[in-house]
Amino acid sequence: MSRSLSSAECVFVCGGSGTVGHSVLKQLHELYPNVHVKAQCRNESKCQFINSCHPKAEIIKFDFDRVVPDHFRGCTSLFIMSPYTVDMLVQVRQLVDAAKEAGVRHVVHLGVIQPEPSYQTHVNYIHWHRLCEAYIESSGLSWTHLRPAMFYSNLFHYCGWTPIQGNELQFPLQPQTKLGWVSDDDIGRIAAKCLVDFSSHSGQIYPITSSIGSLEDVLHALQSVPRLKDLKLKTISVDEAYEQLVSNGSEPVYMKGFRDTILESNQMQDCSHLAGVKEGMEIVKNVGGKQPMAPQEWAQKCQQ
């Protein structure tokens, strides 16, 4: 595959062993097999997992508090998924500074979908992501911001919490609350394209949405999978979900943001009108080059 100077010869993926990082690496391997890929791994036991989705990836082992320019030397673009802690404010800055010193030209940052500026949200991590985006924009590097909707995969696992217990899906979102949902695959495909063909996506903010519907809609899709056909929804309080997350080791301050996200969503009942939710489905089609992954397709993928 021939590429111009405006395309990346080497990309770096932070958080390569996570759910989204796995999807980014998989899409890079499938779409751009000739692009050299470096992937960060903090845990020795997960290095094999990275190579299972991108066999040729060069694994770079370091933690976010030990970032040096040499980690990114030779890379043209960098994928950053902020950690689920308030430390993102420091760590994103360190990553960007080190990448810039190493000669990286483009940063793809994964944040969260955001309401209109006129809406005064109390969700702390939305404001943190805005600060991270602002720092990236001020760095002098080329950039693309990705803002995904609610992950489908949060219903299976989120920060050490497993909402499905036996035949119950225990989640604090009201069954009829309507919002945007997104698959890891759709995020990974768009991220891969922005990393490699970065000049085409420089300066863009991409909301990413795979479907719009209620938790009940997604539950019905999951029930189409034989092993989940008896799955029932149990609506738990946001306080109970918060306590479970914190007891599993998640940072309390960040999890307050998750708590407030659910509270605000339940209060609005229909979040599909928020900035970017509907536009995000067009982004998947036009930038990702495929139809967004519907709940039924995602549910069938979970069966595999």
CATH number at residue 121: 3.40.50.720
Q: Is the predicted pLDDT of residue 256 greater than 90, yes or no?
A: yes
pLDDT-derived band at 115 (thresholds 50, 70, 90) equals confident
2 in a structural domain: no
What is the Cα–Cα distance from 263 to 266, expressed in whole angstroms? 5
Question: In what order do the strands lie in the sheet containing 142-148?
Answer: 58-61, 36-41, 10-13, 77-81, 106-110, 142-148, 204-208
**Of 121 and 108, which is predicted with more confidence?**
108
Tokens representing 69 are 């320019």
67 pLDDT exceeds 60? yes
Q: Is 293 within the bounds of a domain?
A: yes
d(CA 183, CA 250): 22
Residue 145 lies in a domain: yes
Tokens of 78: 């960098």
Q: Using an 8 Å Cβ cutoff, are 19 and 184 in contact?
A: yes
**How far is 293 from 276, CA to CA, in rounded Å?**
17
Tell me, yes or no, whether 256 lies in a domain: yes
Residue 265 maps to a domain? yes
Which residue from 90, 125, 94 is spatially nearest to 110, judged by alpha carbons? 125
The pTM of the full predicted model, rounded to 2 decimals, is 0.94
State the DSSP H helix or E strand holding residue 61, giving kind and residue range, or none if neither.
strand 58-61
Q: What is the C-alpha separation between 231 and 280, in angstroms, rounded? A: 29
Determine the distance from the C-alpha atom of residue 160 to the mean position of all C-alpha atoms in its chain, rounded to a whole number.
Answer: 16
Please report whether residue 4 resides in a domain. no
Q: What is the rounded average pLDDT for all residues in the chain?
A: 91
What is the rounded average pLDDT of the residues 216-234? 94
Indicate whether 247 pLDDT > 60.
Answer: yes
Residue 3 lies in a domain: no
With 90 as the cut, is the pLDDT of residue 17 above it? Answer: no
d(CA 99, CA 184): 25
Give the residue numbers spanning the domain of 79.
Answer: 10-303
Tokens in use for 87? 């430390």
- pLDDT at position 163, please? 95
Residue with the larger pLDDT of the pair 79 and 113: 79
Is residue 267, in this structure, part of any structural domain at all?
A: yes
The count of other CB atoms within 10 Å of the CB of residue 90 is 12
**304 confidence band (pLDDT: 50, 70, 90):** low
User: Structural domain tally of the chain?
Assistant: 1
